Structure 1
Amino acid sequence: MPVIADIEAAARRLDGHARRTPLLSSPFLDEIAGRRVFVKAECLQHTGSFKFRGAWSAVSAMEPDLRAKGVIAFSSGNHAQGVALAARLHDAPAVIIMPADAPRIKIENTRALGARVVLYDRATEDRDAIGASLSAAHGLTLIKPFDDVRVIAGQGTTGLEIAEQAVNERITDADVLVCCGGGGLTSGIAIALASHATGLRARPVEPVGFDDVTRSLATGKRQHNAAASGSICDAIVTPTPGQLTLPVMQNLCGPGIVVSDDEALRAVALAWLRLKIVLEPGGAVALAAALFHGAQIVTPDVICVASGGNVDPDVFARALATLAE
């Protein structure tokens, strides 16, 4: 299981390679939410999402001879790009397994970063099985998107930064809302906060219909989503919480919050209007929870992790159109 020492070690490996992303705020968002709202802008991280942290953490920790053989990952796009860049910067080949319905910009960016992209049908094919088969056939090391201690440790460095930035902003009591798929970012942040900022509590946020983590925390048992796709929040659509991440979230996180696709789109628009940042819907669900589900939050302040900004132009246009409604 990942521990705080893993995250602190990952922070040392990431030093000078990952960006320290800002904690943003706007009085206009505060007014909507009814409390102070802070946004950790991981959309400004390399490759446009927090995933670079975990990817660099995993690739940099590999033995050089094993790394030289190459890495493989499966992702709808953000983990794909993070691994592709981390591998390229380490002069290692990368194969990325992506769903055929992933946003075009994510597929194109992953290829542009030098990775070989293998597309699959997420409704009928098993990405884990594809990854295991290719790994065995070509001697590649599989870097999972969330169920890997080194990946979780890298994502947890986001929490270390939040803890330091909270001191500067005089935030002592706050829920930290995290866009959640398999739980790598959420569990990593939870571990970091439990050690470095005990007044801050991580909480997962998911889209309607893909709230497996929220239901798992509520029932105490691992839950699975009925569908494999169908949400505009593609970046955080996963079948079930991770084997490593769920126990961490059960021990350290507050209850989950579930938002609609429409709320995610409105949050994308408001993030652009008030903070001047570009988010994808899956990277905006935490902000949507703060703005539109305030009744489920009792702390005077709330911190939202804006986890990614790799949005297709047509989806971004749909989001901006909500400003006229």
Structure 2
Amino acid sequence: MAQVTDHRGGVRSLSVPIPDNPLGHTLVYVVDTDRGPVLIDTGWDDPESWDTLTDGLTACGTSVTEIHGVVITHHHPDHHGLSGRVREASGAWIAMHAADTAVVRRTREAPAERWFAYMAAKLAAAGAPEEHIAPLRAAPPRALPGLSPALPDRDIVPGELLALPGRRLRAIWTPGHTPGHVCLHLEETHPARLPGHGRLFSGDHLLPGITPHIGLYEDPDDNRGALCSSETESSGEVTDPLGDYLDSLERVGRLAPAEVLPAHQHPFPDAAARVRELLTHHESRLTGLLALLAEPLTPWQLAERMEWNRPWDRIPYGSRNIAVSEAESHLRRLVKLGRAEAVTGSDPVTYVAV
């Protein structure tokens, strides 16, 4: 059965399970409007998740057929996965920031074998050992989970109010976790009169006890190398996801919402304090990486030496790929700040502190 929490003021949340994931579930928010309920995120595309979502809506006194719209904080499958099924059942519109819609579009268009080849080449460039890359090279072409996400039919425009009759929900662009991640500021008096400015649906941008993954913005058509490429900009300018995230954090902190309603874990007050903790965490991590880069290291070697929530030899295969991407995003930040540089002539490329 779905766990339903009433946050008052016409806002409830449903805990929708994520299969085989330590996060456990995604908090899908149900926001009442004058045209019917609107969902903020939908959960993973899985039969149990779908049943939980529909049962939860029934417990809220509505049904999936009554959904008026779906607002997606970002394109990841534990947030966007069930959007297509909701739209099929209800005729609801789906809204997403254009930068993440672009990711959805190229995910749908690139065949599975192209993704395998891209990931193998990316890991090789990062210095991954051949035994780690070999399964990707040998993988048969097949459909992968999350490679056919629903295309949104509305853009979320940063700074503008969404078209939710009877509500004031403003989009705040917060890139970093994904290029088009948005937080949603409910500009209405808190139902418990907590001090601050409304409530913030924070997606994965601001979580009470987790630091969200900051990796590189993936594009299988980008052949220019992990740290010398731009996945989202045709101008050729190198992207800086960690820099984007840190800037976005400060912007959210200045909003000073009375309460944060995240997509995982639990609601919490004092967004500014949590922002300060995360800024301190990333500065400490960058400083620690500079110490590791006293000797030249590939991104893979750096990831092996970084501090994670478990020893490297106990990190699962897929999570190692994510860890290397996170290491690369931090390397990219250090290079952009002039605190690290590539070692000329190294192959695979290594980096060293300046």
User: Same-fold call, TM > 0.5?
Assistant: no
| Structure of greater relative contact order (alpha carbons < 8 Å, 6+ residues apart) | 1
TM-score (norm 2): 0.29
**Greater radius of gyration (CA):** 2
**What TM-score do you get using the length of structure 1 for normalisation?**
0.31
